Structure 1
Amino acid sequence: MRVKETKLKGCFIIEPKIFNDSRGYFFESFNQDVFNVLIGKNIKFIQDNESFSSKGVLRGLHYQVGEYAQAKLVRVIKGQVLDVAVDVRKNSLTFGQHVAVELTEENKKQLFVPRGFAHGFIVLSDTAIFSYKCDNFYNKASEGGIIYNDKDLNIDWKLDETVFVVSEKDLQLPTLKEAVL
Protein backbone atom coordinates (compact mmCIF):
# COMPACT_ATOMS: atom_id res chain seq x y z
CA MET A 1 0.00 0.00 0.00
CA ARG A 2 1.10 3.53 -0.75
CA VAL A 3 -0.14 6.41 1.36
CA LYS A 4 0.09 10.07 0.40
CA GLU A 5 -0.99 12.88 2.70
CA THR A 6 -3.02 15.54 0.91
CA LYS A 7 -2.56 19.28 1.39
CA LEU A 8 -4.99 18.91 4.31
CA LYS A 9 -3.18 17.56 7.37
CA GLY A 10 -4.45 14.16 8.39
CA CYS A 11 -6.33 13.50 5.12
CA PHE A 12 -4.69 10.70 3.11
CA ILE A 13 -5.02 9.07 -0.32
CA ILE A 14 -4.38 5.34 -0.07
CA GLU A 15 -3.40 3.24 -3.09
CA PRO A 16 -3.47 -0.51 -2.54
CA LYS A 17 -1.08 -2.94 -4.16
CA ILE A 18 -3.10 -4.81 -6.80
CA PHE A 19 -2.17 -8.29 -7.97
CA ASN A 20 -3.42 -9.01 -11.50
CA ASP A 21 -3.26 -12.30 -13.36
CA SER A 22 -5.28 -14.29 -15.90
CA ARG A 23 -8.01 -14.94 -13.29
CA GLY A 24 -8.58 -11.25 -12.51
CA TYR A 25 -7.19 -9.29 -9.58
CA PHE A 26 -6.71 -9.41 -5.82
CA PHE A 27 -5.96 -6.67 -3.34
CA GLU A 28 -6.22 -6.17 0.38
CA SER A 29 -8.74 -3.36 0.77
CA PHE A 30 -8.19 -2.95 4.51
CA ASN A 31 -5.86 -4.20 7.22
CA GLN A 32 -6.30 -2.51 10.62
CA ASP A 33 -2.68 -2.87 11.73
CA VAL A 34 -1.16 -1.77 8.42
CA PHE A 35 -3.61 1.13 8.12
CA ASN A 36 -2.78 2.47 11.59
CA VAL A 37 0.96 2.27 10.95
CA LEU A 38 0.67 3.98 7.56
CA ILE A 39 -1.38 6.95 8.75
CA GLY A 40 0.31 7.17 12.15
CA LYS A 41 -2.90 7.04 14.17
CA ASN A 42 -4.82 4.39 16.03
CA ILE A 43 -8.18 4.39 14.24
CA LYS A 44 -10.74 1.69 14.98
CA PHE A 45 -13.55 1.44 12.46
CA ILE A 46 -16.87 0.22 13.86
CA GLN A 47 -19.36 0.59 11.01
CA ASP A 48 -19.40 -0.02 7.25
CA ASN A 49 -21.86 1.75 4.93
CA GLU A 50 -22.61 1.38 1.23
CA SER A 51 -24.66 3.41 -1.23
CA PHE A 52 -25.76 2.94 -4.82
CA SER A 53 -26.29 6.06 -6.91
CA SER A 54 -26.77 7.16 -10.52
CA LYS A 55 -24.83 9.71 -12.54
CA GLY A 56 -25.12 13.24 -11.16
CA VAL A 57 -26.16 12.20 -7.65
CA LEU A 58 -24.37 14.50 -5.24
CA ARG A 59 -24.31 13.48 -1.59
CA GLY A 60 -22.95 15.98 0.90
CA LEU A 61 -21.25 17.85 2.26
CA HIS A 62 -21.86 16.10 5.61
CA TYR A 63 -20.13 15.91 8.99
CA GLN A 64 -20.84 15.09 12.62
CA VAL A 65 -19.74 17.19 15.58
CA GLY A 66 -18.74 16.63 19.19
CA GLU A 67 -18.47 13.16 20.66
CA TYR A 68 -20.07 11.71 17.51
CA ALA A 69 -17.56 13.16 15.03
CA GLN A 70 -16.52 10.55 12.48
CA ALA A 71 -13.41 9.62 10.55
CA LYS A 72 -14.15 7.79 7.29
CA LEU A 73 -12.26 5.56 4.91
CA VAL A 74 -14.05 5.79 1.56
CA ARG A 75 -13.77 3.89 -1.71
CA VAL A 76 -15.67 3.00 -4.87
CA ILE A 77 -16.54 -0.61 -5.58
CA LYS A 78 -18.21 0.02 -8.95
CA GLY A 79 -18.13 3.12 -11.13
CA GLN A 80 -16.47 6.50 -10.65
CA VAL A 81 -17.01 9.38 -8.24
CA LEU A 82 -15.39 12.67 -7.41
CA ASP A 83 -14.87 12.53 -3.66
CA VAL A 84 -14.45 15.76 -1.70
CA ALA A 85 -13.21 16.44 1.83
CA VAL A 86 -13.42 19.93 3.36
CA ASP A 87 -11.42 20.92 6.44
CA VAL A 88 -13.90 22.36 8.96
CA ARG A 89 -11.54 22.33 11.95
CA LYS A 90 -11.79 25.93 13.17
CA ASN A 91 -8.17 26.16 14.36
CA SER A 92 -6.66 24.46 11.33
CA LEU A 93 -4.30 26.31 8.98
CA THR A 94 -6.29 24.79 6.09
CA PHE A 95 -9.78 25.60 7.46
CA GLY A 96 -12.23 25.94 4.58
CA GLN A 97 -9.91 24.29 2.05
CA HIS A 98 -10.80 21.09 0.26
CA VAL A 99 -9.32 18.18 -1.65
CA ALA A 100 -11.05 16.37 -4.49
CA VAL A 101 -10.02 12.89 -5.61
CA GLU A 102 -11.44 10.67 -8.34
CA LEU A 103 -12.14 7.26 -6.88
CA THR A 104 -12.86 4.54 -9.41
CA GLU A 105 -13.31 0.80 -9.61
CA GLU A 106 -10.15 0.76 -11.74
CA ASN A 107 -7.78 2.82 -9.60
CA LYS A 108 -9.10 1.38 -6.31
CA LYS A 109 -7.86 4.46 -4.47
CA GLN A 110 -9.27 5.21 -1.05
CA LEU A 111 -9.51 8.48 0.83
CA PHE A 112 -9.11 8.71 4.58
CA VAL A 113 -11.21 11.62 5.84
CA PRO A 114 -10.36 12.42 9.47
CA ARG A 115 -12.69 13.78 12.13
CA GLY A 116 -13.27 17.50 11.68
CA PHE A 117 -13.92 17.29 7.94
CA ALA A 118 -17.07 17.61 5.86
CA HIS A 119 -17.39 14.98 3.18
CA GLY A 120 -19.32 14.50 -0.04
CA PHE A 121 -19.18 12.97 -3.49
CA ILE A 122 -20.75 13.16 -6.93
CA VAL A 123 -21.22 10.19 -9.26
CA LEU A 124 -19.39 10.68 -12.58
CA SER A 125 -20.23 7.27 -14.14
CA ASP A 126 -23.67 5.94 -15.11
CA THR A 127 -23.94 4.31 -11.67
CA ALA A 128 -21.66 3.82 -8.68
CA ILE A 129 -21.42 1.70 -5.58
CA PHE A 130 -19.72 3.69 -2.84
CA SER A 131 -18.46 2.11 0.38
CA TYR A 132 -17.06 3.60 3.55
CA LYS A 133 -15.94 2.72 7.03
CA CYS A 134 -16.68 4.96 10.03
CA ASP A 135 -14.91 5.11 13.37
CA ASN A 136 -18.04 6.26 15.22
CA PHE A 137 -21.74 5.60 15.05
CA TYR A 138 -24.10 8.00 13.30
CA ASN A 139 -26.02 10.33 15.62
CA LYS A 140 -28.77 12.43 14.05
CA ALA A 141 -28.53 15.18 16.69
CA SER A 142 -24.82 15.64 15.87
CA GLU A 143 -25.12 15.86 12.09
CA GLY A 144 -24.24 18.96 10.16
CA GLY A 145 -23.54 19.96 6.61
CA ILE A 146 -22.47 22.60 4.14
CA ILE A 147 -24.21 23.39 0.86
CA TYR A 148 -22.36 21.81 -2.07
CA ASN A 149 -22.21 25.06 -4.07
CA ASP A 150 -20.84 27.34 -1.34
CA LYS A 151 -19.10 30.12 -3.29
CA ASP A 152 -16.31 30.37 -0.70
CA LEU A 153 -15.42 26.70 -1.13
CA ASN A 154 -15.52 26.96 -4.95
CA ILE A 155 -15.62 23.19 -5.51
CA ASP A 156 -15.44 22.03 -9.13
CA TRP A 157 -17.78 19.02 -9.15
CA LYS A 158 -16.75 18.14 -12.75
CA LEU A 159 -20.32 17.93 -14.10
CA ASP A 160 -22.77 20.55 -15.31
CA GLU A 161 -25.00 21.56 -12.40
CA THR A 162 -28.10 20.95 -14.54
CA VAL A 163 -27.54 17.17 -14.16
CA PHE A 164 -27.04 17.24 -10.37
CA VAL A 165 -29.42 15.14 -8.29
CA VAL A 166 -29.35 16.51 -4.74
CA SER A 167 -31.65 15.55 -1.87
CA GLU A 168 -34.08 18.15 -0.58
CA LYS A 169 -32.30 17.93 2.80
CA ASP A 170 -28.90 18.68 1.24
CA LEU A 171 -30.32 21.62 -0.72
CA GLN A 172 -31.21 23.25 2.62
CA LEU A 173 -27.69 23.05 4.06
CA PRO A 174 -25.98 26.31 5.13
CA THR A 175 -22.76 27.78 3.80
CA LEU A 176 -19.53 27.19 5.70
CA LYS A 177 -19.82 30.69 7.24
CA GLU A 178 -23.32 29.84 8.51
CA ALA A 179 -22.59 26.26 9.61
CA VAL A 180 -22.56 25.13 13.22
CA LEU A 181 -19.16 23.50 13.70
Structure 2
Amino acid sequence: MLEVRSLGLEGVLEIIPRRHGDARGFFIETYNEERFAEAGIDLRFVQDNHSYSAAAGVLRGLHYQLAPRAQDKLLRVIRGAILDVAVDIRRGSSSFGKWLALEISAEKGNQILVPKGFAHGFVTLVPDTEVLYKVTDTYSPQHDRSIRFDDPAIGIEWPAVADGFQLSDKDLKAPLLAATEVFA
Protein backbone atom coordinates (compact mmCIF):
# COMPACT_ATOMS: atom_id res chain seq x y z
CA MET A 1 0.00 0.00 0.00
CA LEU A 2 1.22 3.48 -0.75
CA GLU A 3 -0.11 6.98 -0.27
CA VAL A 4 0.06 9.36 -3.24
CA ARG A 5 -0.35 13.13 -2.81
CA SER A 6 -0.49 15.78 -5.53
CA LEU A 7 1.87 18.65 -4.75
CA GLY A 8 0.10 21.37 -6.72
CA LEU A 9 1.93 21.29 -10.06
CA GLU A 10 0.45 18.89 -12.61
CA GLY A 11 2.04 15.46 -12.33
CA VAL A 12 4.43 16.18 -9.44
CA LEU A 13 3.58 13.74 -6.67
CA GLU A 14 4.72 12.83 -3.19
CA ILE A 15 4.68 9.08 -2.71
CA ILE A 16 4.72 7.65 0.79
CA PRO A 17 5.26 3.90 0.87
CA ARG A 18 4.05 1.92 3.85
CA ARG A 19 6.79 1.21 6.38
CA HIS A 20 6.71 -2.12 8.21
CA GLY A 21 8.79 -1.96 11.37
CA ASP A 22 9.61 -3.96 14.44
CA ALA A 23 12.46 -4.28 16.96
CA ARG A 24 14.84 -5.36 14.16
CA GLY A 25 14.27 -2.28 11.99
CA PHE A 26 11.95 -1.76 9.03
CA PHE A 27 11.03 -2.86 5.51
CA ILE A 28 9.70 -0.58 2.75
CA GLU A 29 8.58 -1.57 -0.72
CA THR A 30 9.79 1.55 -2.54
CA TYR A 31 8.61 0.57 -6.00
CA ASN A 32 6.13 -1.98 -7.29
CA GLU A 33 5.02 -1.58 -10.90
CA GLU A 34 1.57 -3.04 -10.22
CA ARG A 35 0.90 -0.87 -7.13
CA PHE A 36 2.08 2.27 -8.92
CA ALA A 37 -0.16 1.50 -11.91
CA GLU A 38 -3.12 1.05 -9.54
CA ALA A 39 -2.32 4.55 -8.24
CA GLY A 40 -2.35 5.92 -11.80
CA ILE A 41 1.44 5.98 -12.24
CA ASP A 42 2.18 3.88 -15.30
CA LEU A 43 5.88 4.39 -16.02
CA ARG A 44 8.72 2.13 -17.12
CA PHE A 45 11.97 2.91 -15.33
CA VAL A 46 15.19 1.99 -17.15
CA GLN A 47 18.03 3.36 -15.02
CA ASP A 48 18.79 3.83 -11.32
CA ASN A 49 21.12 6.59 -10.09
CA HIS A 50 22.78 7.11 -6.71
CA SER A 51 24.31 10.37 -5.50
CA TYR A 52 26.27 11.00 -2.32
CA SER A 53 26.91 14.45 -0.88
CA ALA A 54 29.46 14.79 1.92
CA ALA A 55 28.34 18.20 3.20
CA ALA A 56 25.14 20.08 3.91
CA GLY A 57 24.54 22.71 1.24
CA VAL A 58 25.47 20.63 -1.81
CA LEU A 59 23.12 21.93 -4.49
CA ARG A 60 22.51 19.83 -7.59
CA GLY A 61 20.39 21.30 -10.35
CA LEU A 62 18.29 22.45 -11.97
CA HIS A 63 18.58 19.61 -14.51
CA TYR A 64 16.41 18.03 -17.21
CA GLN A 65 16.60 16.28 -20.57
CA LEU A 66 14.76 17.39 -23.69
CA ALA A 67 12.54 15.15 -25.83
CA PRO A 68 12.88 12.61 -27.20
CA ARG A 69 15.11 11.65 -24.23
CA ALA A 70 13.10 13.41 -21.49
CA GLN A 71 12.99 11.64 -18.13
CA ASP A 72 10.42 11.08 -15.43
CA LYS A 73 12.23 10.76 -12.07
CA LEU A 74 11.25 8.87 -8.92
CA LEU A 75 13.54 10.05 -6.14
CA ARG A 76 14.10 9.06 -2.51
CA VAL A 77 16.68 9.66 0.21
CA ILE A 78 18.28 6.66 1.90
CA ARG A 79 20.46 8.65 4.30
CA GLY A 80 20.09 12.27 5.37
CA ALA A 81 17.66 14.86 4.02
CA ILE A 82 17.18 17.19 1.07
CA LEU A 83 14.96 19.99 -0.06
CA ASP A 84 13.82 18.81 -3.49
CA VAL A 85 12.64 21.32 -6.11
CA ALA A 86 10.66 20.91 -9.33
CA VAL A 87 10.16 23.76 -11.83
CA ASP A 88 7.54 23.61 -14.59
CA ILE A 89 9.35 24.26 -17.90
CA ARG A 90 6.49 23.38 -20.25
CA ARG A 91 6.18 26.66 -22.16
CA GLY A 92 2.45 26.12 -22.92
CA SER A 93 1.57 25.32 -19.31
CA SER A 94 -0.42 27.74 -17.14
CA SER A 95 2.16 27.07 -14.40
CA PHE A 96 5.25 27.67 -16.59
CA GLY A 97 8.15 28.90 -14.45
CA LYS A 98 6.41 28.02 -11.17
CA TRP A 99 8.18 25.82 -8.66
CA LEU A 100 7.50 23.71 -5.62
CA ALA A 101 9.71 22.27 -2.92
CA LEU A 102 9.39 19.19 -0.73
CA GLU A 103 11.61 17.96 2.08
CA ILE A 104 12.52 14.35 1.48
CA SER A 105 14.38 12.36 4.11
CA ALA A 106 15.42 8.88 5.05
CA GLU A 107 13.54 9.34 8.30
CA LYS A 108 10.25 10.20 6.57
CA GLY A 109 10.70 7.56 3.87
CA ASN A 110 8.83 9.73 1.37
CA GLN A 111 9.55 9.99 -2.36
CA ILE A 112 8.88 12.49 -5.12
CA LEU A 113 7.83 11.82 -8.69
CA VAL A 114 9.03 14.57 -11.04
CA PRO A 115 7.53 14.11 -14.52
CA LYS A 116 8.92 15.05 -17.92
CA GLY A 117 8.61 18.77 -18.56
CA PHE A 118 10.05 19.79 -15.20
CA ALA A 119 13.55 20.90 -14.25
CA HIS A 120 14.72 19.23 -11.06
CA GLY A 121 17.22 20.00 -8.33
CA PHE A 122 17.91 19.57 -4.66
CA VAL A 123 20.05 20.84 -1.83
CA THR A 124 21.31 18.65 1.00
CA LEU A 125 20.10 19.72 4.44
CA VAL A 126 22.52 17.56 6.45
CA PRO A 127 25.97 16.04 5.82
CA ASP A 128 26.40 12.53 4.42
CA THR A 129 23.21 12.50 2.37
CA GLU A 130 22.52 9.76 -0.17
CA VAL A 131 19.85 10.01 -2.85
CA LEU A 132 18.56 7.24 -5.10
CA TYR A 133 16.43 7.89 -8.14
CA LYS A 134 14.93 5.97 -11.00
CA VAL A 135 14.51 7.48 -14.46
CA THR A 136 12.45 6.51 -17.51
CA ASP A 137 15.25 7.13 -20.02
CA THR A 138 19.01 6.82 -19.87
CA TYR A 139 21.35 9.78 -19.65
CA SER A 140 21.85 11.55 -22.98
CA PRO A 141 24.52 14.29 -23.07
CA GLN A 142 23.01 15.70 -26.29
CA HIS A 143 19.64 16.27 -24.59
CA ASP A 144 20.94 17.25 -21.15
CA ARG A 145 20.11 20.82 -20.10
CA SER A 146 20.23 22.92 -16.96
CA ILE A 147 18.84 26.18 -15.61
CA ARG A 148 20.53 28.48 -13.13
CA PHE A 149 19.44 27.55 -9.57
CA ASP A 150 19.09 31.20 -8.52
CA ASP A 151 17.26 32.53 -11.59
CA PRO A 152 15.34 35.57 -10.26
CA ALA A 153 12.52 34.94 -12.77
CA ILE A 154 11.82 31.63 -11.00
CA GLY A 155 12.57 32.85 -7.46
CA ILE A 156 13.22 29.56 -5.67
CA GLU A 157 13.49 30.04 -1.91
CA TRP A 158 16.46 27.82 -1.11
CA PRO A 159 17.22 27.35 2.59
CA ALA A 160 20.08 29.31 4.13
CA VAL A 161 23.22 27.23 4.53
CA ALA A 162 25.94 28.23 7.00
CA ASP A 163 28.87 27.71 4.65
CA GLY A 164 27.01 28.60 1.44
CA PHE A 165 26.13 26.29 -1.42
CA GLN A 166 28.50 23.88 -3.10
CA LEU A 167 27.79 23.60 -6.83
CA SER A 168 29.42 21.97 -9.84
CA ASP A 169 30.93 24.16 -12.55
CA LYS A 170 28.10 23.05 -14.84
CA ASP A 171 25.47 24.31 -12.39
CA LEU A 172 27.32 27.59 -11.74
CA LYS A 173 27.43 28.27 -15.50
CA ALA A 174 23.84 27.22 -16.24
CA PRO A 175 21.76 29.72 -18.23
CA LEU A 176 18.67 31.51 -16.99
CA LEU A 177 15.27 30.05 -17.89
CA ALA A 178 14.67 32.75 -20.53
CA ALA A 179 17.89 31.78 -22.36
CA THR A 180 17.54 28.00 -22.40
CA GLU A 181 15.69 25.47 -24.53
CA VAL A 182 12.61 24.08 -22.78
CA PHE A 183 9.53 22.00 -23.60
CA ALA A 184 7.04 23.42 -26.11
TM-score, normalised to structure 1, is 0.96
Letter in 2 for 1:82: L
Q: Residue type of the partner of 1:72? A: K
Where does residue 64 of structure 2 map in the other structure?
63
Unaligned stretches of 5+ residues in structure 1:
none
State how far apart, in whole Å, the 2-side matches of 1:19 and 1:158 are: 32
- Counterpart-to-counterpart distance in 2, 1:158 and 1:67: 34
Shift of 1:20: 1.6
SS at match of 2:174: coil
Amino acid at match of 1:15: I
How do residues 137-176 of structure 1 correspond to structure 2 at under 5 angstroms?
A: 137-160=138-161, 162-176=163-177
Cα distance in 1 between the residues matched to 2:118 and 2:60: 15
- SS of the aligned residue for 2:68 comes to helix
Aligned twin of 1:28: 29
**Partners in 2 of 1:56 and 1:8 — Cα distance?**
25
Q: Deviations over 1:32-73 (max 9, x none)?
A: 1111221x2421000000010021110000000011000000
* Aligned-pair CA distance for 1:161: 7.7
Instruction: Identify the structure with the greater helix proportion.
Output: 1
- Whole-angstrom CA distance in 2 between matches of 1:98 and 1:161: 24
Q: Take 2:122 and 2:37, find their aligned partners in 1: how far apart are those partners?
A: 25
Give the letter aligned to residue 5 of structure 1.
S
Secondary structure of 2:8's partner? coil
Equivalent residue for 2:45?
Answer: 45
- After superposition, the Cα gap between the structure-2 partners of 1:161 and 1:174, relative to the gap in structure 1 and judged at 3 Å, is farther
- Say whether the 8 Å CA contact 2:66–2:143 is kept in structure 1: yes
CA 1:158/1:22 → structure 2, altered by over 3 Å: closer, same or farther?
same
Q: Is the Cα–Cα contact under 8 Å of residues 124 and 159 in structure 1 kept in the other structure?
A: no
AA aligned to 1:49 is N
Per the alignment, residue 19 of structure 2 pairs with: 18
Give the 3 Å change call, closer, same or farther, for CA 77–152 of structure 1 in structure 2: same
Find the aligned partners of 2:145 and 2:27 in 1 and give their Cα distance.
Answer: 37
- Structure 1 stretches of 4+ with a deviation exceeding 3 A read none
Q: Provide the aligned length of Structure 1 versus Structure 2.
A: 180
Kept after mapping to 2: 8 A contact 1:19/1:26: yes
Match of 2:37, SS? helix
Stretch of structure 1 that moved more, 152-161 or 12-21 = 152-161
Identity, % of aligned pairs? 41
Structure 2: distance between partners of 1:20 and 1:41: 26
CA deviations over 1:56-94 (Å, ceiling 9, x no partner): 110000000011000000010000100111110111111
* Counterpart mapping for 1:73-152 below 5 A: 73-152=74-153
